[in-house]
Amino acid sequence: MESKKCAVFQMQIVYLLILLFMFSLSLAVTDEEQNDMQTYIVWVEKPVAQGSSAQSHEDLESWYHTFLPESTIATSNQLSKPRIVHAYHNVATGFAAKLTPEDVKAMEKKPGFVSAHPEAILPLHTTHSPNFLGLNQGLGFWKGSNYGKGVIIGVLDTGVSPDHPSFSDAGVPPPPAKWKGKCEFNGRVCNNKLIGARNFNGISTGQPAGDPPLDQEGHGTHTSSTAAGNFVKGAALFGMAKGTAVGMAPHAHLAIYRVCSAVGCAEGDILAAMDAAVDDGVDVLSLSLGGFSRPFYSDGVAVGAFGAIQRGIFVSCSVGNSGPSYSTSSNEAPWILTVGASTIDRNIRATARLGNKKKYNGESLFQPNNFNSKIMLPLVDAGSLGNQTSAFCDAGTLKNVRGKIVLCERGGAGGRIDKGAEVKRAGGAAMIFMNQRIDGFSTLADPHLLPTAHGTVVGDKHAPSVASFSSRGPSTASPGILKPDITGPGVSILATWPVSVDNATKSKATFNIISGTSMSCPHLSGIAALLKGSHPDWSPAAIKSAIMTTADVHNLGGKSIVDQTLKAADLFAIGAGHVNPSKANDPGLVYDTQPKNYIQYLCGLNYTDKQIQIITQQTVDCSKIGAIPEAQLNYPSFSIIVGSNKKTKSQLYTRTVKNVGQANSTYKLDILAPNKVDVNVSPEVLKFTKVKQTITYRVKFVAQEGAGKDGVLFGQGYLRWVSDKHNVSSPIVVIFGS
């Protein structure tokens, strides 16, 4: 009997060991699978509704889980981490999930699957500007728009530093009843200004959720306060740019969505934040981020933005910092306001005075009082000290420069500020920072070491001018749409910062001056919020049209806006021009476009029905609804591609304008035709008798003989409708093809 019990016990031990072995083998396989996984964005068709056309969030998530590998479904609560990291309900039909390439191949065979791609990691596109834009406290458009009260701006960025005075709710009413968002900060940090704050950063890349959306980089705090920071008196940095710091819409509400860190912004997290923002009830979305040009159906920002505008949410994005080369723009979808960067009329000037009495003006934030500008110091060219890396003042390359002024070239491995650090490490007394030829005369205010400071200078008649770094068109994804749409202040912008940069104060009112299209984007987001508050019935397309058709094309000196070469900037740099908020509030006419109008345009891009379905979240059949050329979209600008053959040499398009000005008004045509292009418009007079009346006109573009044969790649012009009170201007660019 005892021997029988012993045998049974031995068998149980053997069975247990087998189970443990199988369990460890399963764990090992799971770990191996986890190592081979990456986050994919998966687009699927909507599930067939049972008795209703609308699906609940739970229905959609159940549908999304059916696309996961069966082994994953069975073991997701046991051996492996949950595969789905984001389930989208509003701006897209699909999800972000941890998958292997084999999982995706298996998924492709399932009914309802559309496509999948590995998520992209997008980079960030990293005060006096309200006055420069004509926004003055207690006057004009600012007062008339009620400073943006009641409008909610959602900012997708690196988070926020919530205890800064810029986010005080003084004068800000409670949020509207539609607000459904939440604040993930501990304690009573959020208020009537900062009404929501959520953290999505790192979730799709495997970081733990639940951390508060505290800004560790400064970028998100800066952009948020630029869009809607409250009034803060006594703002300055290194004693420069003194004044009252305030955002574009100082009494608008802010909803913060942390989607970025120092390593970038995951596409899956961005989509999840946009999806949540729709549920939360925002009116404007501001994204100072973006990647390379892609077809819109594979661009998460473009897909999410389309879902947002379908619900009346305005979307503003930066064009990127890859200028001044052509075809470098990002965020090119026509339903997005794409923003380039320009200067304001304030310079943080520093002047280098050489022994031959010549003076060279630059900019620098760091201008110490103890620097004796009357003493002449030796000047040395860092490029003469050895190899090319020393010319760039890269880390560890300088020697024998103690007590000297060092000339460093832009470029190389280090950033602009890093070069100054290398000069200081090597004992240099100061630095002169020389642009590359491509950057021309475009300068930025950084905390450099430069001699002979002259401080803050206001009233630069060359402003605004286009920054060299601002990305240029033509659009790669859609050359028939002119991008960027607009430019706004993006050079040496003072705004809120989480910590003190100059160590000059223990106050929470800390600021920094930085540059980038990241800075210009929130300017336009705030202005869009003001327009939304002033005209709550305007669609996102109408707001965009008002901004574009009223833009300035001349600088403060009354001459054409210039670029980094100090020559007139072309339309691929400035788009419609530089934003003029007060004029945008009363545009006279608008080019309105509803979300459904984009479908024929997408068919004209030769996208498949499935690809268009990713963007629109609806079944599309281009063979039935038809396609239109890109330039036929009712857009506030014209981008025409002409060739030498008869079909493309002459092109006819229509535009429809809506009267949002006086009921009885007459507009007459004013044309500046591009070189070697005939532009014929019919009718030449538009007569309106009531508000919201629409009139359609036709435009025929005919390339003259020899157009484009002289080496000129494109021509530029304007089409304007002029009344006694309004000037409704649309830029024209004609690209000469073969």
Secondary structure of 341-405 in the HEC alphabet? Answer: EECCCEEEEEEEECCCCCEEEEECCCCCCCCCCCCCCCEEEHHHHCCHHHHCCCCCCCCCCCCCE
Q: pLDDT value at position 206?
A: 56
Q: pLDDT value at position 169?
A: 95
Q: How many domains does the chain have?
A: 5
At 41, the amino acid letter reads: I
Is 727 contained in some domain?
yes
Higher model confidence: residue 237 or residue 510?
510
Q: Does residue 652 share a domain with residue 615? A: no
Per DSSP, the three-state class of 99 is strand
Q: What is the mean pLDDT of residues 437-454?
A: 60
Examine the pLDDT at 366 and tell me if it is beyond 70.
Answer: no
Q: pLDDT value at position 129?
A: 53
At 576, the amino acid letter reads: A
Helices (H) and strands (E) in the chain, counts: 19, 33
Higher model confidence: residue 233 or residue 590?
590
Q: Does residue 369 share a domain with residue 270? A: no
Q: Does residue 484 share a domain with residue 419? A: no
Cβ atoms of residues 280 and 197 within 8 Å: no
The residue from 631, 659, 689 where one domain ends is: 631
Examine the pLDDT at 697 and tell me if it is beyond 50.
Answer: yes
Is 26 contained in some domain?
no
State which residues form the domain around 435.
349-455
First to last CA, the chain: 98
CATH number of the domain that 402 lies in? 3.50.30.30
Examine the pLDDT at 241 and tell me if it is beyond 80.
Answer: no
Examine the pLDDT at 267 and tell me if it is beyond 60.
Answer: yes
Q: pLDDT value at position 661?
A: 97
Q: Does residue 643 share a domain with residue 619? A: no
CATH number of the domain that 691 lies in? 2.60.40.2310
Q: What is the mean pLDDT of residues 647-667?
A: 94
Q: pLDDT value at position 356?
A: 86
Report d(CA 507, CA 238) in Å as an integer: 14
Q: Mean pLDDT: which of 381-395, 425-439, 567-581 is highest?
A: 567-581
19 alpha carbon, distance to own chain's centre: 54
CATH number of the domain that 152 lies in? 3.40.50.200
Q: In what order do the strands lie in the sheet with 94-99?
A: 84-88, 94-99, 38-44, 113-118
Q: pLDDT value at position 503?
A: 60
Q: Give me the DSSP letters along 315-343.
A: EEEE--S-TTSSS------TTSEEEEEE-
Q: Does residue 204 share a domain with residue 87? A: no
Examine the pLDDT at 75 and tell me if it is beyond 50.
Answer: no
Report d(CA 93, CA 603) in Å as an integer: 20
Report d(CA 214, CA 221) in Å as an integer: 9
Is 475 contained in some domain?
yes
Band (pLDDT 50/70/90 cuts) for residue 414 is confident
Q: What is the mean pLDDT of residues 486-511?
A: 80
Q: What is the mean pLDDT of residues 714-732?
A: 97
Is 703 contained in some domain?
yes
Task: Tell me how many degrees the CA angle 50-52-54 measures, rounded to the nearest 5.
Answer: 110
Is 202 contained in some domain?
yes
Lowest pLDDT segment from 251-265, 319-333, 407-421: 407-421
pTM of the model: 0.86
**Start-end of H helices in 139-291:** 140-144, 219-228, 267-280
Q: Does residue 98 share a domain with residue 205? A: no
Higher model confidence: residue 339 or residue 642?
339
In 548-628, beta strands by DSSP E: 589-590
Closest CA to 626 of 600, 607, 601: 600
Is 264 contained in some domain?
yes
Q: pLDDT value at position 578?
A: 97
Closest CA to 155 of 547, 546, 521, 533: 521
Cβ atoms of residues 225 and 496 within 8 Å: yes
> What confidence tens digit (pLDDT) does each residue in 520-563 have?
999 999 999 999 999 999 999 999 999 999 999 999 899 999 99
Q: pLDDT value at position 448?
A: 53
Cβ atoms of residues 300 and 271 within 8 Å: yes
Lowest pLDDT segment from 56-70, 466-480, 647-661: 56-70
The residue from 527, 562, 585 where one domain ends is: 585
Q: pLDDT value at position 332?
A: 98
Q: What is the mean pLDDT of residues 345-371?
A: 74
Q: Does residue 512 share a domain with residue 382? A: no
Examine the pLDDT at 372 and tell me if it is beyond 70.
Answer: no
Band (pLDDT 50/70/90 cuts) for residue 145 is confident
| Tokens at 69, concatenated | 């590998």
Q: Following CA atoms 108, 111, 112, 114 in sequence, which dihedral angle do they give, to the nearest 10 degrees?
A: 30
Band (pLDDT 50/70/90 cuts) for residue 450 is very low
Q: Does residue 637 share a domain with residue 627? A: no
Band (pLDDT 50/70/90 cuts) for residue 504 is low
Report d(CA 666, CA 490) in Å as an integer: 37
Closest CA to 222 of 415, 488, 494, 501: 494
What angle, rounded to 10 degrees, do the helices at 300-309 and 609-616 form? 60
| Tokens at 35, concatenated | 């190592």
| Tokens at 318, concatenated | 């930066």
Q: pLDDT value at position 539?
A: 97
CATH number of the domain that 65 lies in? 3.30.70.80
> What confidence tens digit (pLDDT) does each residue in 174-229 have?
999 999 999 999 877 899 999 999 999 987 655 556 689 999 999 999 999 999 99
Q: How far is the CA of 67 from the CAs of 53, 61, 64, 90, 427, in angstroms?
A: 21, 10, 6, 19, 62
Report d(CA 397, CA 319) in Å as an integer: 35
Question: 387: exposed, middle or buried (C-beta count within 10 Å: 0-12, 13-18, 19+)?
Answer: exposed
Q: Give me the DSSP letters along 650-664.
A: EEEEEEEEEE-S-SS
Taken in order 326, 126, 295, 635, is the CA torsion positive or negative? Answer: negative
The residue from 585, 619, 648 where one domain ends is: 585
Per DSSP, the three-state class of 614 is helix
Residues 6+ apart with CB under 8 A from 710: none
Q: What is the mean pLDDT of residues 240-247?
A: 75
Q: pLDDT value at position 242?
A: 64
Q: Does residue 626 share a domain with residue 638? A: no
Mean pLDDT, the chain, as a whole number? 86
Is 602 contained in some domain?
yes
Query: Bridge partners of 634?
Result: none
Examine the pLDDT at 59 and tell me if it is beyond 90.
Answer: no
Which amino acids are annotated catalytic? Answer: 157, 219, 518
Q: pLDDT value at position 708?
A: 82
B/e letters for 661-674, b = 16+ CB within 10 Å, e = fewer, are beeebebebeeebb
Examine the pLDDT at 577 and tell me if it is beyond 60.
Answer: yes
Q: Does residue 695 share a domain with residue 675? A: yes
Is 19 contained in some domain?
no
Report d(CA 530, CA 583) in Å as an integer: 12
Q: Does residue 600 share a domain with residue 559? A: no
368-375 long-range Cβ contacts below 8 angstroms, 24+ apart: 371/430, 371/451, 371/453, 373/451, 373/452, 373/453
Q: Does residue 333 share a domain with residue 412? A: no
